[in-house]
Amino acid sequence: MRKRLLLCLIPTLLFGWTGIGVAQQSKPAQLSSIPAEVWQKARAQGVVRIIVWLNVMTREEAELRQVEVRAQRQAIAAAQHELVASLAGTKHKVIERSKTVPFVGLDVGMDALAVLEHSPLVIRVEESRLGYPQRQIPMEAWHFGSQNKKIPVEVWQKAHTEGVARVFVQLDAAWEVGALSPEAELAQQRGIAAAQDALLADLAGTRHRVLARFRVIPSIGLEVGLDALAVLARSLLVIRVDLEGPPAKPAG
């Protein structure tokens, strides 16, 4: 089960170099925030493309008041600025920064990796396996696409280039085919409807529109933006998201 990427924001307890939200914690000396394969690729190729997760406490913006949203974004920006400043004089290039999620995309050499290894701003470093292209897809989408198998990259691509994507979402609800008693069939339909309602409640405040609700298949047709896709990627209710066409019925 995928752990949530975002941690709890407690504005009154945040502290840091800039005073607006960078959580300063020293990493144990024996633990490395950079996987061995990242070092190996940097050594072999001279540069490696990575995602750097920053030590900033955050929470879903939908759960925050406007003043808290501003404070959280300022904390993220401050951590990003501090990190990039610390890389001065090393081989590095900023690929993209996120306003809402505490990470930075970088191309780095061995000397920059050495700085990141010892930085209290860094929680962990991951290789960007998809090689996110600058100004094509926001890094949030590339990260979710590379780490979350429920949503193919082409879904993120369509939502980004066209603003929305029409998708069919397969839900984690009980579903049996074949002869059912009237009572069992009604219970199954109610379970599917409850899962659909719960998912739509989670999407409140995001860019989405219901296209179709199925009574006997645990799925829902939606038109969604990138913010709604991010919710779907994290939702425990979602098994799979696909472009267009409804899911096939299971055999048997």
pLDDT greater at residue 141 or residue 40: 40
Give the pLDDT mean for 24-33.
50
State the pLDDT at residue 206: 87
State the pLDDT at residue 132: 44
State the pLDDT at residue 65: 87
pLDDT at 44 over 80: yes
How many CB atoms are closer than 10 A to CB 80? 22
Whole-angstrom distance, CA of residue 217 vs CA of residue 176: 9
State the pLDDT at residue 209: 92
Give the pLDDT mean for 104-130.
88
Most confident range (mean pLDDT) of 24-28, 115-119, 127-131, 174-178 is: 115-119
Give the pLDDT mean for 131-159.
60
pLDDT greater at residue 112 or residue 178: 112
CATH 3.30.70.80 region(s) of the chain?
Answer: 148-243
Write out 136-162 in H/E/C secondary structure. Answer: CCCHHHHHHHHHCCCCCHHHHHHHHHH
CATH of domain 148-243: 3.30.70.80
**Of the ranges 28-32, 70-74, 130-134, 146-150, which one carries the lowest mean pLDDT score?**
130-134
* pTM confidence score: 0.48
Q: Check: CB of residue 218 under 8 Å from CB of residue 175.
A: yes
Q: Which residues contact 143 (CB under 8 A, 6 or more apart)?
A: 51, 101, 103
Give the pLDDT mean for 38-64.
87
Give the pLDDT mean for 64-82.
91
State the pLDDT at residue 3: 36
